[in-house]
Amino acid sequence: MIERRDPASPPPPPPPPPVAPPIGRVVATEQKPATPHQFHFWTANETSIGIGAIVRVVEPGNGKGETGKVVYGVVTDGFAYSDLATPLHDVVGAEGDPAKAAASPTVRQEIRLWTAAVLRQTPEEPLQPVPLGQVHVATDVDVAQALRMDAYLGGAQPTAIPVGLYTSGGLEAPVYVDADFLLGPEAAHLNISGVSGLATKTSAVEFLLSSIFQHFPPHKGRVAAVCFNVKGPDLCFLDRPGTLDDEDRRRYQRLGVAPEPFQQVRYFAPFKADGVNLNTLRTHPDLVGDVEPLVWGLREVLDYAEVLLNRDDIDAKADAFIDFLADRVVDKEFEDGFGGVHRVVTFADLERLFRSIFDGLELAGRGGGDSWRTHHIATMRKVRNRLANISTRCKGLVTDDGASNDLPWGRFADRTVYVVDVANVDPLGQDLVFARVVSQLRERLERRDLGVDAVVVFVDELNKYAPADGPETYVKKMLLDISERGRYLGLVLFGAEQFRSQVHRRVVGNAGTVVFGRMDADELATPGYQVLSPATKIKLATLPIGELMVRHPHFTQPIFVRFPRPAVLRGRDGVERYPPTADLPFEDAVARQLVKLDRRVRPNQVKDVIADRREEDVRRALAHTRQTRPQDALAHFKKQLGGRVAAAPAAARESVPPLNAISDEPY
């Protein structure tokens, strides 16, 4: 086992000389020579090595006490053939009967010939072709040497993060990645590809996050993770223990990672359209109390209006008007020019402002005016319609008039996972959530006031958010920005997708660490995989669950590793153990939220209070209570809800004639 060394302790003694017999011998011919980067060796027919195995080649000493060169390689291809000159000769020998061929008294001479790519040579200079020496199976120490892990496993400030177990020929050795190259600043980001349905991608990220949280070096500061749950219940039970078998536990022990679920997880999910039931699969009564609503108002949305508004729709004029609203109107005392004073905080406030402006213009328009503060009425109507559409399409996430509830910006906690569940949210809303959360992370990491020094952002379905082709969306631009500049900030992207070839090149290209699960054969046929040998591709196409191929800046060749099942409850198991409850009636849902805020609240009290009240009033009062978190939640709620007002007939309004009897204005 590779032990993590205490920097204060003396360096360990050099490894003992290998005693195991060689398993092969390097051969070189004119057709297949040994080079500084590749060599070939043969083994017995019955051998334990296979594709991905790490081997050590030892050059014989010169007889003067000097040891020869040592070369580490990873097996990338294998060949087997016999001394059969042509297949026809086998047919002749068997008289055309395959059964006879199998029964021949002698088995032909066969060879197992392997091709290996050089991982490392010691000494590294001069770089020379691989010597024609004996081949040995790599030991733990060899694996560390071969993968250059010795550079970050020891020393005063080790930065090793266990990623999995290299397993070959009965030998098993932990493989570590370098935190400086996984989470910055030297390199950063991780990209994982693999076919859907095997849970490999999500499981790998869950295990790796757990490993990071347990092994992130103290000198590098505090770390957190923000995970976007974009499908099903995948990430809804990270705080619940999953089922592990003995083999998993043994692997955890070998890797030095405690097999336990995440200790600190905070869940955020928007409401459903009713504004009171959470839009998540984590709604089981035992768990739903941990889920915090994600609700945004006008201010949160307006800053990212670009995400929500179709760029084709928004011209420079509309853009200017949105900027005007954001800079001059929202959250400020504002005089509309028609005698009204507004303080726009919510969408409802904005709508009132629009109505006031349009009414004012119409009244004034009898003289022919159709502009307000240099903005044409058509532009304003267009922006109004688009913004109104947002609160409709993203109802539950975007509140018309309630208070917002957001991630704890500035108060991110160390070793905490923040799960943002947008699995059932409209794609437009998903974009908004992603853009705003990532922007906030970036801005606050720049200002160093997030609460942690590094954040891992896990985004699945990169095919969708950062496609190789398609329009330049705001989300894609953000992902590119993280990929290219995030490592300096500590903003690290862990991206997953089914088809790496269909993700933007700069997003995958900037990932310092690349992980492959089982791959689709069609995907492996794309140019991005040309560097892999046919055998490696075949192995990738048939990779079992729990095995990955890892590329890391310290590894000169991809390495296959096995990782244990994550110690958290898998999504599909979670929904079986904690089945989601059906949506509660409005009254019950409100009561549950108030009970969550204040255990003294009795549901019946809540139902009495909200009986016959308008739902939007209830929602507004509930949002305010949730945001304020008063000691007496019910009293505060009642106060916000106000007294009942008897219905009165509406006063007659002065009618306003339309600007034109038949208007061409399409909005």
**Rounded CA separation 8/157 (Å):** 11
Q: Helices 586-597 and 615-628: crossing angle, nearest 10°? A: 10
Q: What is the DSSP string of 434-461?
A: HHHHHHHHHHHHHHT-SSSSEEEEEE--
Minimum CB separation of residue 75 from other proteins in Å reads: 24
Q: Are strands 513-516 and 547-551 parallel, antiparallel or unpaired?
A: antiparallel
Minimum CB separation of residue 99 from other proteins in Å reads: 11
Are the C-beta atoms of 550 and 164 separated by less than 8 Å?
Answer: yes
108 vs 311, which CB is nearer to other proteins? 108
The closest of 81, 143, 137, 134 to 109, measured between CA atoms, is: 81
Minimum CB separation of residue 103 from other proteins in Å reads: 8
26 vs 161, which CB is nearer to other proteins? 26
Minimum CB separation of residue 82 from other proteins in Å reads: 8
Single residue of 1, 80, 92, 656 touching other proteins by CB under 8 A: 92
Burial call 179-205: b when 16+ CB within 10 Å, e when fewer:
bbbbbbeebbbbbbbbbbeebbbbbbb
Number of residues in contact with other proteins, rule: CB under 8 A?
Answer: 17
16 vs 105, which CB is nearer to other proteins? 105
- For residue 261, what are the CA distances in angstroms to 224, 264, 265, 417? 15, 9, 10, 11
21 vs 368, which CB is nearer to other proteins? 21
263 binds other proteins (CB under 8 A): no
Minimum CB separation of residue 71 from other proteins in Å reads: 25
Question: CB neighbours (10 Å) of residue 524?
Answer: 19
Q: Helix, strand, or coil here: 198? A: coil
Single residue of 42, 90, 352, 376 touching other proteins by CB under 8 A: 90
Q: How far apart are the first and last CA of the chain?
A: 70
Binding mask 359-388 for other proteins (x = CB under 8 A): ------------------------------
Phi-psi region of 627 (alpha: psi -120 to 50; beta: other; left: phi over 0): alpha
Are the C-beta atoms of 323 and 306 separated by less than 8 Å?
Answer: no
Minimum CB separation of residue 45 from other proteins in Å reads: 9
Minimum CB separation of residue 95 from other proteins in Å reads: 8
- 368's enclosing H/E stretch is none
89 binds other proteins (CB under 8 A): yes
- 27's enclosing H/E stretch is strand 24-27
| Segment near other proteins (CB under 8 A); pick from 79-87, 285-293, 473-481, 608-616 | 79-87
Minimum CB separation of residue 86 from other proteins in Å reads: 8
111 vs 538, which CB is nearer to other proteins? 111
| Segment near other proteins (CB under 8 A); pick from 8-16, 96-104, 163-171, 386-394 | 96-104
| Segment near other proteins (CB under 8 A); pick from 89-97, 535-543, 570-578, 579-587 | 89-97
| Segment near other proteins (CB under 8 A); pick from 85-93, 126-134, 456-464, 623-631 | 85-93
Contacts of residue 316, Cβ cutoff 8 Å, sequence gap at least 6: none
Token pair recorded at residue 440 = 């906030």
The closest of 534, 517, 453, 452 to 488, measured between CA atoms, is: 453
Minimum CB separation of residue 53 from other proteins in Å reads: 24
93 binds other proteins (CB under 8 A): yes
89 vs 411, which CB is nearer to other proteins? 89
DSSP state of 493: E
108 vs 448, which CB is nearer to other proteins? 108
Q: Helix, strand, or coil here: 642? A: coil
Token pair recorded at residue 578 = 């904690």
**Rounded CA separation 176/174 (Å):** 7
Binding mask 322-341 for other proteins (x = CB under 8 A): --------------------
8 vs 102, which CB is nearer to other proteins? 102
95 vs 124, which CB is nearer to other proteins? 95
User: Which 98-117 residues touch other proteins, going by CB under 8 A?
Assistant: 100-101, 104-109
Contacts of residue 25, Cβ cutoff 8 Å, sequence gap at least 6: 41, 42, 132, 133, 134, 135
83 binds other proteins (CB under 8 A): yes
Minimum CB separation of residue 265 from other proteins in Å reads: 58
Query: What helix, strand, coil percent values describe the chain, rounded to 5?
Result: 35, 20, 45
Minimum CB separation of residue 66 from other proteins in Å reads: 24
88 vs 156, which CB is nearer to other proteins? 88
Minimum CB separation of residue 505 from other proteins in Å reads: 50
101 vs 521, which CB is nearer to other proteins? 101
- 513's enclosing H/E stretch is strand 513-516
Q: Please report, as ranges, the residues that interact with other proteins according to CB under 8 A.
A: 83-86, 89-90, 92-94, 100-101, 104-109
